[in-house]
Amino acid sequence: MEQKMIHLTIDNIPVTVPEGTTVLEAARAAGIKIPSLCYLKDVNEIGACRICVVEVKGARSLMASCVYPVSEGMEVLTNTPKVRHSRQLTLELMLSNHRMDCLTCNRNAHCELRQLAADLGIDAVRYAADDLKPQLEASALHLVRDNSKCVLCRRCTAVCRKRQEVGVIGPNDRGFRTHIGCAFDRDLAEVDCVSCGQCIVACPTGALQEQDSTAEVLAALHDPSKHVVVGPAPSVRVTLGECFGMPVGSNVEGKMVTALKRLGFDKVFDVDTAADFTIMEEGTEFLERLQNGGTLPMITSCSPGWIRFCEQHYPDMIPHLSSCKSPQQMFGALVKSYYAEKAGIDPKDIYVVTIMPCTAKKYEVKREEQRMKNGCMPVDAALTTRELSRMITQAGMMFDHLPDGEFDPMLGISTGASVIFGATGGVMEAALRTVAAKLMGDDQAPLEFHEVRGIKDIKEATYELPGRTVKVCVASGLANARIVLDGVKSGEMQYDFIEFMACPGGCVNGGGQPLHSAITRSFTDLRGLRAAALYKQDEGMAHRRSHENPVLKEVYATYLGEPGGHKAHEILHCTYVPQTRYRV
């Protein structure tokens, strides 16, 4: 059915948009930016902050444009004295209850509140509260919350509730005492937060930020007794550039490597290499289950946020999880075993740092289940993309002027299969490339599996492999994981292999990725552009299947033995355990 079009004027400009469009969206189509604060498209559309108000001819009061639908013949004015005065007064009242240490706030360059004040011409705050003190909570391993900077926009609570269906935070108390917190004001460490960090990237101010690990990493870099090794995750190479004003989806792999070497890391390896080991182990495990009556569907274990969600909400599904460690943990384990032996370095003297798109990785590095037989934890510190960008800036590097460098070779050669791990469906496609090749031969097996690509929330595909029809599923965002798991448990959904990623869109949209305003997040396809850059790199790679990686072949031949063998299990696998949802 053809969609009905609506004709209206905005600031006397004729506009034609589909029925159901909001005034805010229609204005944007006409090249008019209406300021907003609480609005986040498809996540938080509640018209609560009243920053986006406009005049509508015939309406009795100013209307919130983010929730007000267009109608035929509507006349809208967005820049009248009445509108400007209302927006300014509303923002001043917000600022009266906001601790303004802007010069030292880690969000000072990405604060939507500060930008709003500039856009609306606020040059003084008449009602400033000078006695506001920090209200810090840092109980969680991945996050610090400071409610003295919260503006009660509720974007964090909406993404936690709607996108992730975890819902551990919400408004407590009423009126002037309203604040965001957990039920009964419990600490985040005491509830079933999965550490995904989606609340951080949704927050418009400095009320939420990741636990900063840069100081301890810098201390290790300046400790002569430590051999410091670093590895970036697949998606970081297509997001780091955004921190320095480069276009979304810019692949800055070479500049990133140069920056890491100039920061003083002794070795710069690539977590992509470990992702290839993940595919070899996970693919071997899947084939063993498929051919020998193992527990199906098998579910990937690369996303620590998803793993924690499963352990807390679906402990009965733990037998379905692959026993493989995540690429981050495999990377650290290989550095502190294979690399340590080859380099003649005591693993206890090696300090492993990873650069991750995900705040849940900060939680994962502390999990005792990951401890190695030699007593070491595989990874010592996990930095987000944002933390790395701050280290580069503080070191005085002009990132966009850096020459391209190359990873150190021992654990720094990747394939196209590992590169695409950063996009939802990437782990599944990488696994299918190797599984299909093992069953059909490299010459006969397809290289690309487009059915599992794209940013659709839940994707299904069926493939005919020798002797078996294999049905797979890919889901990102924990709300979608819940849909699939409930379907599997009820018998309505039947699969052989499932990929889950905690963050919507996968790692390219992780909680540790660069910050963007709500307008950018609402109207720019960040996930699609970033993922496209990974698939473009994949197309140009010399090796596009994990089992073709020459480093992987060398390590299995001289150190690990067969994929899925005893030594590989000892180093690259772990156990996952049920966790209580509420702790004391």
Q: Which residues are catalytic?
A: 282, 285, 302, 322, 361, 364, 369, 507
- SS3 (DSSP) at 181: strand
226-to-150, 341, 392, 505 alpha-carbon distances in Å: 40, 16, 21, 37
- Identify the DSSP state of 142: S
- Identify the DSSP state of 471: E
Question: Are 92 and 122 in contact, with CB atoms under 8 Å apart?
Answer: yes
**Half-sphere exposure (Cβ direction) of 128: Cα atoms closer than 13 Å:** 9
- Identify the DSSP state of 324: B
Question: Are 369 and 226 in contact, with CB atoms under 8 Å apart?
Answer: no
Centre a 10 Å sphere on the Cβ of residue 471 and count the other Cβ atoms it contains.
15
- What distance lies between CA 436 and its chain's CA centroid? 29
Phi-psi region of 453 (alpha: psi -120 to 50; beta: other; left: phi over 0): beta
Pick from 362, 282, 269, 295: nearest CA to 322 = 282
CA pair distance 299, 323, nearest whole angstrom: 9
Q: Report the C-alpha dihedral over residues 353, 358, 363, 365, rounded to 10 degrees.
A: -30
Strand 5-10 and strand 75-77: pairing? parallel
The amino acid that residue 267 corresponds to is K
Percent helix, strand and coil across the chain, each rounded to 5?
A: 40, 15, 45
